[in-house]
Amino acid sequence: MLRTITEINEKLKAGKAIITTAEEIIDVVKEKGVALAAKEVDIVTTGTFSPMCSSGAYFNIGHTKPRIKLGGGHVCINDVPAYTGFAATDIFIGANALPDNDPRNRLYPGEFNYGGGHVIEEIVAGEDVQLVANSYGTDCYPRKKLATWLNINDINQAVLFNPRNAYQNYNVAVNLSNKTLYTYMGILKPKLGNANFSTAGQLSPLFNDPYYKTIGIGTRVFLGGGIGYIAWWGTQHNPNAPRNNLGIPSRPAATLAFIGDLKQMKQKWLVGTSMIGYGVTLTVGIGIPIPILSDEILKFTSITDADITAPVVDYSKAYPQCNPDILTEVNYAQLRSGNITIKGKKVPTASLSSYAGAVSIATNLKQWLQDGKFLLSEPVAPIPGSGSGYQLKPLVERPIRIQ
Amino acid sequence: MIVSKKIVLHFPSRLVDQPIVYRLIKEYDLSFNILKASVIPDEEGLLVLELSGEQSNYDKGIKYLTKTGVKIQSLSQNVLRNESRCTHCGACITICPTNAFELDKISRQVIFINEKCIACGLCIKACPPRAMELHF
d(CA A132, CA A142): 16
Q: What is the pLDDT of residue B76?
A: 61
Pairing mode of beta strands A186-188, A270-275 = unpaired
The residues facing A80 across adjacent strands are: A77
Query: In this structure, is residue A173 part of a structural domain?
Result: no
Whether residues B40 and B96 share a domain: the answer is no
Interface of B with A in 81-110 (CB under 8 A): 85, 87-95, 103, 107-110
Q: Closest by alpha carbon to A138, among A77, A205, A68, A198?
A: A68
- Domain count along chain A: 1
Query: In this structure, is residue A222 part of a structural domain?
Result: no
- Domain enclosing residue A142, as ranges: 56-160
Whether residues B51 and B85 share a domain: the answer is no
DSSP-assigned letters across all residues of A188-238: E-TTTT-EEE---GGG-GGGSSTT-SS--BT-EEEETTEEEEEEEEPTT--
Instruction: Name the helix (H) or strand (E) containing A342.
Output: strand A339-342
Query: In this structure, is residue A31 part of a structural domain?
Result: no
Whether residues B65 and B19 share a domain: the answer is yes
Catalytic residues of A: 140
Query: In this structure, is residue A263 part of a structural domain?
Result: no
Whether residues B87 and B69 share a domain: the answer is no
Pick the residue of A355, A359, A360, A363 with the most B CBs within 10 A to test the interface with B by mutation.
Answer: A355
Query: In this structure, is residue A119 part of a structural domain?
Result: yes
The residue out of B74, B89, B107 marking a domain boundary is: B74
Nearest CA in chain A to B131: A273
The yes-or-no verdict on residue B5 having pLDDT over 90 is: no
Query: In this structure, is residue A64 part of a structural domain?
Result: yes
Nearest CA in chain B to A282: B129
Whether residues B87 and B125 share a domain: the answer is yes
- A113 vs B contacts (CB less than 8 Å): 130
d(CA A299, CA A295): 6
d(CA A373, CA A223): 14
What ipTM is given for this predicted complex?
Answer: 0.94
What is the 3-state secondary structure of A37-101?
A: HHHHCCEEECCEEEECCECEEEEECCCCCCCECCCCCEEEECCEEEECCCCCCEEEEECCCCCCC
Q: Give the CATH number, domain containing residue B92.
A: 3.30.70.20
Query: In this structure, is residue A101 part of a structural domain?
Result: yes
- Output the tens digit of pLDDT for each of chain A's 403 residues: 899 999 999 999 999 999 999 999 999 999 999 999 999 999 999 999 999 999 999 999 999 999 999 999 999 999 999 999 999 999 999 999 999 999 999 999 999 999 999 999 999 999 999 999 999 999 999 999 999 999 999 999 999 999 999 999 999 999 999 999 999 999 999 999 999 999 999 999 999 999 999 999 999 999 999 999 999 999 999 999 999 999 999 999 999 999 999 999 999 999 999 999 999 999 999 999 999 999 999 999 999 999 999 999 999 999 999 999 999 999 999 999 999 999 999 999 999 999 999 999 999 999 999 999 999 999 999 999 999 999 999 999 999 998 7
**Residue B125 near chain A (CB below 8 Å):** yes
> Cβ B90–A348 below 8 Å, yes or no?
no
**What percent of chain B is helix, strand and coil (3-state, nearest 5)?**
25, 35, 40
> Cβ A283–B85 below 8 Å, yes or no?
no
- Domain enclosing residue B34, as ranges: 2-74
Q: What is the pLDDT of residue A256?
A: 98
Query: In this structure, is residue A227 part of a structural domain?
Result: no
Whether residues B103 and B68 share a domain: the answer is no
